[in-house]
Structures are given as C-alpha cells and as structure tokens.
Amino acid sequence: MKPDRNLLLVTLVALSFANAACARSQPANLPAPERRQAPIDAASVRLSFAPVVKKAAPAVVNVYSRRVVRTQVDPFWGMFMGGGGIPQERVAQSLGSGSIVRPDGVVLTNHHVIDGAQEITVVTSDRREWPAHVLLDDPRADLAVLKIDTHGEQLPALAIDDAGDVQVGDLVLAIGDPFGVGQTVTNGIVSALARSGVGGSDFSSFIQTDAAINPGNSGGPLVDMNGDLIGVNTAILSGSGTSSGVGFAIPAPLVRQVVETALSGAHAVSRPWLGLKSQAITGEMAGSLGLASPHGVVAADVWPGGPAAEAGVVAGDVIQSVNGQPVDDPTGLNYAVETLQPGSTVTLQVRTPGGAERALKVRLDVPPNSPDRDQRTIAGANPLNGATVINLSPGAANELGLDPFAGTGVIVAGVSGYAGNLFQPGDFIRQINGQKVATVAQLEALIAQPAQAWTIVIQRGGRLITAQVRI
C-alpha cells in the first residue's frame, strides 16, 4: 500500500511513546466465530464489549525502557553551557505496551519499544513494577519477548489466536497506554488483511484496523471477540502523528513463531526460504503472461540448488498460491513461507511461461551460509575502525533483512567507534582505493596497507556512494 505522496503527505509513526516522567477459552455469552452477524435490532446495538475487556485487559502491561545516550555538545555553545565539547550523557526513556502471553511472566512487545534499552521495567495492570530481561529480540519482525520473575505467581495471560480465521469486518479491540494516560481500550473492525509496505517489520502482511491506536500503544494487543490476541499493534499511517483510523498490527502466526522460538531457548528465529526472488505482476505484465488479471508473482531469479529450484521452479514461472492461499506480491509470498518451520513442505501453484499449470511440492530449508561469514571487527588507523564486517551469504542476508540476490561481497553488520561516522549496518563495501572487495579477508588486507587518504565505494540501498577520507 503506497499512497500517492504528491497528493497526500503521510507519516508512518512507530508507536512507542517517549515519556520522561495459553489455552483458548470463550465466554459463554459471546457468539462462536462461525456465527458472525451484524447487529439486527436496537438491543443488539446496546451489547457491551465489557466481557472481552474483563478477560483481556488484566494481561496488558506497560513496558518502560531506559538507556543512557551520549551527545556531543558543540564547542562554541559549550563555552556558555560549561563542559566545552565534552560528550554529555542524558537518560532517554520510552513507553510502550505489551501482553503477558504466559502466566509465568513471558511478555510480548515490539522490538522498537526496547531497542537499545539498558534497563526494562514492566508494569502490570495492578500497578506493580517488575524488572525484565530480553529472551529474544527480533528486529526483522519488530517483536521482542521479555521475561519477568514472578517468583512462582501465576499472572493473567492472553492466548495467541490459533484459529487463523481473521476476516475483514471482524470486530476487534486495541488495548494499550496511548500517550501515557493509562490503560485504554478502543474498538473497531479489521479493515484489511495482508497489508504490505508499512511498519518496521520485514514481514509486511499486517492486519489493518480502524481501532484508535496512538503513540504508546506499540506492542499492545489487538484482540478479537474471544479475547484472544490476533495481532500486535505496531504502526499507524497519519499526517499528524496521531490516530487517523489507519493502524497496523503484526498478525498472530508471526507472533506465535517468535514466542515459541523464545520459549525454546533460542536467541534468534530460524526461518526458511524458497530460494527465489519474486516480482509483483502489473496489469501490463499480466497480458504478456497470458493472465486475465494481475494475480500472483513472477519468479525473477532462482537460487541454484535452492528449495524452489530443486522442486522445478524456473525463472519466469508465475507463483499463484502457497498451500492454497493466493499471493499477489513478494512480501505476501515471503510471509507465507517464512512463518513456517524449516523442513516444512509447501505446495506452490505455478503457471509456466507456456501457460501450463502445475502444483509443486517444495521442502523448505534454511538459507545456506556459504561463503562462511568470517566475521571480523576492523581495528587500526583506517576509516573502518570499529566496523564489524561479514561475507554476504543467503543465511547472512536473511538474518539482516537484505537481498540474498544482491551478489557476493562484504557487508557491514555493525558499527562503533570511528566507523560510525561513515558506515551503516547493511552497507556493502565495494571498493577500497580502486580495488574491488570480494571477501572479508581481502578487505582486511587492503585496509592494512598504509595510506594518507582513502577512497571507499559503498553500496547503500541501491545507491553507490564514493567517500574520500583522510585519517
């Protein structure tokens, strides 16, 4: 979903709010999911959401994160404020929301709520404060799983939806702490499903809702009329920074994958891949492909020896569905695959360039880590001092949210020290002083050569940047 930016200025707002200051059950008086119906009389309109709130709200928490930020004071202004150009420290705090998803104190929130936090505090609905630590932080999904020590106490918990039958038009509630005013419940409907191109997650298949969510709601639950968590509120589309009725939540299948991984003791989510690069089909492309409408995605490139190639997918094939679920864009295809487990077998409905249709069984696997990462942190008197670099492989690309088809080379995985002035995580280092860089070992050899000045070519987001640096 990409609004015309020439007609409407919009701002995508991450919903954490800066502020200094699992068994399913169903209440007997709520209709079963298969009995959806619109209100039919005045008595129906006067029905209350209170039973749902009573079930869900006690499991909703506030999540406070705290970190110390070092800022450089301009030497000129430092003469008046004291301290000269010495870096100053300040405490940054942020407020988000979360859900208790297991009674022993497992809490779910957004990655961006706790990103960089040195101290995390969870405040439960009864106003008790609990120190928390991170079990798993997954920036790609924008989710984080925390743990508080309840000393054996069983806390109210939300069940993560396992029915998978969310439909456009379903009634939903959003619960959280907007602007730090206190726990707030808003209601709306599911406005759309599988929205892409929004939010801070690589898995763009969001639930869209018109339930009012605002800064401070990040990490809070979107619940259905059973009182179960069907999504985690994460972003809004707004021109003002406040709710305009277009909010987005990370859907339950992705949430469940991250939570289950955290509970298994793993510190990173192992996600499968198909081993292909796909492209959305436009109306013009549909005609040339013999399609009546722009439905499905084209396999633009196929990784040799990858799962898709082994199953018989070739470049130019149109993938129409995964396990019977239609896919219409690359993010939808990635979501359908990467929310499954490595080793799973999926059925792809494929249309060949010649027009023949076939169903292919694909056994998913983790992306290969070849070539080896060879991770190193560069030291010495050079522009890369403090940069952590690795060789690009499909496995490394999947971990960092990069395109595995971007080619071989050296990628910046992290920065600190001097390197932070020039590089960003995800940068490709293409050349050093006119020499092409293919491996980490080659990079380290080039950077070790004495030089008065350095010419470095960086590829960032599809752009080539040439930097001239003197040390």
CB-count burial class (<10 Å; 0-12, 13-18, 19+) for 66: middle
Give phi and psi for 250, each to the nearest 5.
-75, 125
Kindly state the tokens that stand for 189. 């409907």
pLDDT tens per residue, range 162-183: 878 899 999 999 999 998 899 9
| Same domain membership, residue 238 and residue 313 | no
Supply the CATH number for residue 322's domain: 2.30.42.10
| Same domain membership, residue 254 and residue 342 | no
CA–CA gap between residue 284 and residue 89 (Å, rounded)? 56
Confidence grade of residue 23 (pLDDT, cut at 50, 70, 90)? very low
Rounded to the nearest 10°, the torsion over CA 122, 126, 128, 129 is: 10
Cβ neighbours of residue 241 under 8 Å, at least 6 residues apart? Answer: 11, 13, 215
Cβ neighbours of residue 251 under 8 Å, at least 6 residues apart? Answer: 166, 205, 206, 207, 230, 231
Q: Is the pTM of this model over 0.85?
A: no
CA–CA gap between residue 237 and residue 242 (Å, rounded)? 9
455: in domain: yes
Res 155 pLDDT > 50: yes
Number of domains in the chain: 3
Give me the domain span that covers residue 337. Answer: 276-363
Confidence grade of residue 9 (pLDDT, cut at 50, 70, 90)? very low
| Same domain membership, residue 13 and residue 66 | yes
| Same domain membership, residue 353 and residue 229 | no
| Same domain membership, residue 384 and residue 427 | yes
In terms of Cα–Cα distance, which of 398, 431, 53 is closest to 224?
53
| Same domain membership, residue 281 and residue 262 | no
Res 1 pLDDT > 60: no
Supply the CATH number for residue 196's domain: 2.40.10.120
54 against 21, higher pLDDT = 54
Cβ–Cβ under 8 Å, residues 405 and 308: no
45: in domain: no
43: in domain: no
* Residue that finishes a domain, picked among 302, 336, 363: 363
4 CB neighbour count, 10 Å cutoff? 7
For the annotated catalytic residues, the residue numbers are: 112, 142, 218
Q: Which of 61-65, 196-200, 227-231, 321-325 has the lowest mean pLDDT?
A: 196-200
Kindly state the tokens that stand for 174. 């959003």
| Same domain membership, residue 207 and residue 160 | yes
| Same domain membership, residue 209 and residue 113 | yes
370: in domain: no
Highest mean pLDDT among 99-108, 187-196, 419-428, 457-466: 99-108
63: in domain: yes
* Residue that finishes a domain, picked among 269, 294, 309: 269
Confidence grade of residue 26 (pLDDT, cut at 50, 70, 90)? very low
